[in-house]
Chain A
Amino acid sequence: MAVPDTIYGLFPGPRSAERGMNGLRDAGVAADKIVVMASEPFEEYSFAQGERTTTMGWLAVCGGVVGGIAGFTLAWYTQTSYPLVTGGMPIVAPWPTGIVTYELTMMGAVLTTVIALLVGSRLPDWSHKLYDPEIAHGKVLIGVVDPSDEARADLENRLRRAGAEKVKATGRFATL
């Protein structure tokens, strides 16, 4: 995948990044065109809010239910397939069946959470996407994907005025 056409600024900290984000909003840039990347969450700042609605909790519950059903089925099936009276217990004894069901319920919830995280975060993804290694040095990346050619100068100015240490361009803008 090619790097998208982007103009972005690298900000030294969250406050300047917040100003940069406000500048882009004031310029009328749509929220889905703005990209943000940082090496820490900055959840208390509005620029890092992004998409906060997620069904991960419910998916974990569903995964748990599926795991529980699988656990019960496994316990029931194995006990009836090889019937063995142990300590006078019934063939399908509720206590041990409950333990196996419980463990597989939790396993289902854990597995579903991991899968939901990977799918929801669009990982793994080794394709060549927009990124700047300076993020690792504590910089916050705020940028606009696919802006019009006319808006470019204004966006760069806004990012610089907000405190961006560097303003960079990728895709077709990089060659202009």
Chain B
Amino acid sequence: MSAKTPEQINEDLLRPLAGVSARYLIVLACFLAVVIAGFTAFGWQVYHGIGVAGIRRPVFWGFYITNFVFWIGLSHAGTLISAILRLANATWRRPVTRCAEVITVFALSIGAMFPIIHLGRPWLFFWLVPYPSERGIWPNIHSPLLWDFFAISTYLLGSGTFLLLPILPDLALVRDRATGLRKKIYTVLAIGWRGTPRQWHRLEKAMQIMAIAVIPVAVSVHSIVSWDFAMAPVPMWHSTIFAPYFVAGAIFSGIAALIIAMALLRKFLHLEEYLLPVHFENLGKLLLVMSLLWVYFVFAERLTTWYGNEPSEMAVFWLTQRGSYSPLFWTMVTCNFLIPFPLLAIKKLRTITGCVIASIGVVIGMWLERFLIIVPALSHKYLPYSWGTYRPTWVEITITAATFAAMAMLYMLFSKFIPIISVWELKWGQHEEPERDSVLLRKDEEATA
């Protein structure tokens, strides 16, 4: 990025907050319509019962739990990547971190809704919360589903604060430039931030601590999600590889989502001077590493199963490799490896477009991966007489589509109210650039003269 004065950075990054275009409203309305359709479908399910979904014996976990694992995985885009880059002091992270952290908070919120959507009586979801009730019943701590509750709550709290704390200085910035009602709102939101050295130092220290704390939490969250499966004696689930396999897959899909979000922000908010090709290239390299790691995990898992040659596991194994689920399996391999690998490994192809195509492939591939972990294993358990199939209904498809629309809509709204690139961190990063120092020095000298 060429050296810019603080005022230029303010202008560029606060511009998206000023006013809305007709195009923005139309796109927002389209997403809102899909979200409303999703709520309607959910209302239909609540009214008529869970039977309107396609989940039935023996496949009790279908699209909803696929979406749960997928969205929780996608949430690893932000806080984890941002925390690692912050601790590694990677200077190129500055324009990227907030875009990433926002994905975490929204994806996690969406993902956490699915166990509730999946309940037969969703209005009783609070029974999962350990509180002294008149029933005298406490949740079963031995159940991995309860671990999810604790892990997701902790991760949501950590990610939320990791996102919100460094927003304070930018809220103050918007406050000082706003007028009327907007000024009043941002005054409340900025909670009196003034930018004293004491405040800056405390904020930096807090972010360091949070970065250290949030990395193991992020790892634990997806490990625990994997244990929802690995703790069950279901063919191809009961495996020690599941926790690292899920964590790697989560980071993989998270980076892909981040690249897509950054490309869209770059185009539609005109942030070409801030979200540079080098950011896509660096994230593309990271995506390439994760793609290779994903292949390694899939190979290790399948090799061990194949050598074990346990009949119930082999039934699921062949079902996915050359049976009725094989089209999905090979599409997953294509999307997660065969497409991204050349696009990301060959330097000439590792452009913004190349990274975005690879990322779209990875997001599709990772959703399929979650589906293929859950459904074939449940449909082909130990006894052949209990084998079955699964076909999603319009209710599940509509709710799934609505979550993608909700993610896009929330992201659009966020970028309209909060600077999507951290203004103060970007300015701070420029201290390290001699060109910027010379700009400031010249301004200083002019002022002195």
Task: Determine if B196 and A81 form an interchain contact, defined as CB atoms under 8 angstroms apart.
Answer: no
For residue A96, give the distance in angstroms from its CB to the closest CB of chain B. 5
On chain A, the residues within 8 Å of B137 by CB distance are 82
On chain A, the residues within 8 Å of B197 by CB distance are 36, 41, 47-51
On chain A, the residues within 8 Å of B431 by CB distance are 40, 42, 44
User: B318 at interface (Cβ–Cβ under 8 A)?
Assistant: no
Out of A49, A77, A102, A117, name the residue touching B203 (CB < 8 Å).
A117
On chain B, the residues within 8 Å of A125 by CB distance are 191-192
On chain B, the residues within 8 Å of A148 by CB distance are none
Task: Determine if A16 and B448 form an interchain contact, defined as CB atoms under 8 angstroms apart.
Answer: yes
Q: Beyond A109-B213, A110-B161, is A131–B194 a contact (Cβ under 8 Å)?
A: yes
Q: Beyond A44-B431, A100-B141, A110-B210, is A129–B194 a contact (Cβ under 8 Å)?
A: yes
For residue A92, give the distance in angstroms from its CB to the closest CB of chain B. 9
Chief secondary structure at chain B's binding surface: helix
Interface size class of A (residues with CB under 8 A): 35 or more
Q: Beyond A41-B200, A56-B206, is A135–B447 a contact (Cβ under 8 Å)?
A: no
The stretch that binds A, out of B24-32, B85-93, B150-158, B346-354, is B150-158
On chain B, the residues within 8 Å of A40 by CB distance are 6, 169, 195, 424, 427-428, 431
Task: Determine if B161 and A99 form an interchain contact, defined as CB atoms under 8 angstroms apart.
Answer: no
Q: Which of B170-218 contact A (CB under 8 A)?
A: 172-173, 175-177, 187-188, 191-206, 209-210, 213-214, 216-217
On chain A, the residues within 8 Å of B202 by CB distance are 54, 56, 116-117, 120-121
Interface size class of B (residues with CB under 8 A): 35 or more
Task: Determine if B424 and A138 form an interchain contact, defined as CB atoms under 8 angstroms apart.
Answer: no
Chain A residues close to B by CB (< 8 Å) = 11-16, 35-44, 47-52, 54, 56-57, 60, 71, 74-75, 77-79, 81-82, 84, 86-87, 89, 93, 96-97, 99-100, 102-104, 106-107, 109-111, 113-114, 116-117, 120-127, 129-131, 133, 135-138, 162-165
Chain B residues close to A by CB (< 8 Å) = 5-7, 10, 130, 136-143, 146-147, 150-151, 153-154, 157-158, 161, 165, 168-169, 172-173, 175-177, 187-188, 191-206, 209-210, 213-214, 216-217, 220, 224, 423-424, 427-428, 431, 440-441, 443-444, 446-448
Taking A81-B138, A93-B141 as known contacts, 19 extra A-B pairs with beta carbons closer than 8 A to each other, sorted by chain A number, are: A40-B195, A50-B198, A51-B201, A56-B206, A57-B209, A89-B142, A96-B141, A103-B153, A106-B213, A106-B216, A109-B209, A109-B213, A110-B213, A120-B198, A123-B193, A123-B199, A126-B192, A130-B194, A135-B195
